[in-house]
Amino acid sequence: MNSVIKNLSELESFAKKLLKELRPGDVVALSGELGAGKTTLIQALARSLGLSRSALSPTFVILKSYPVDYHGIKRLCHIDLYRLNDFKAPHGFEECLGEPDTVCFIEWAEKIKDKLPSKTIWLQIKARSDNSRLITKTP
Ligand SMILES: Nc1ncnc2c1ncn2[C@@H]1O[C@H](COP(=O)(O)OP(=O)(O)O)[C@@H](O)[C@H]1O
Ligand SMILES: [Mg+2]
């Protein structure tokens, strides 16, 4: 499925729609170049889950988790593998992915593709010359 997102307010609507499709235990893998908008999308999703704006700001921490309460989703996990250079899953990774009440978002997920469950939802984000974003979702 392809979506063209023209600006940040359309991204907000996209995040709300995506959130309705998510179930506890889902793993969402995001790929796309630096600046494509992976973190921005996860922040929009986090806001829809009721987390404050300051949560999910970029840090040097690879894996962070936050308590949430949304239709059976009790925890949001944000993993950013940008600085990962040994292609080994970070500390705490198994606990996040294995938890049935957690939704896990992974930036630069292609680095550990073979460690992700087969039912992982993939979002490929591409910035276009007019500053819109093309988001391709599989499956
Ligand atoms: N859909 C969008 N429309 C316009 N600008 C966007 C969109 N998504 C992200 N941006 C902007 O792109 C920049 C980089 O986004 P970021 O989420 O940090 O990228 P990434 O995590 O993929 O490296 C931010 O300034 C953000 O505001
Ligand atoms: Mg990022």
pLDDT digit string, tens, across residues 48-76: 998 876 667 666 778 899 999 999 999 99
CA 108/CA 81 separation, integer angstroms:
5
Q: Is 43 in the pocket of ligand 1 (CB under 6 A)?
A: no
Ligand 1 centroid distance, CA of 79 (Å): 17
Instruction: Give the per-residue pLDDT at 14.
Output: 97
Cα–Cα distances (Å) from 59 to 25, 33, 64, 82, 93, in that order, read 25, 18, 10, 11, 17
Q: What is the topology classification, in CATH, of domain 2-138?
A: Rossmann fold (3.40.50)
Return the ligand number nearest the Cα of 6. 1
Q: Is 35 in the pocket of ligand 1 (CB under 6 A)?
A: yes
Ligand 1 centroid distance, CA of 35 (Å): 5
Q: By C-alpha distance, which of 93, 73, 57, 61 is closest to 20?
A: 73
Predicted structure pTM score: 0.94
Kindly give the parts of the chain with pLDDT less than 70: 53-55, 57-59
Ligand 1 centroid distance, CA of 6 (Å): 11
Domain ranges (residues) in the chain = 2-138
Q: Is 106 in the pocket of ligand 1 (CB under 6 A)?
A: no
Place of tokens 């973190």: 39
Tell how far CA 65 is from the center of its chain: 12
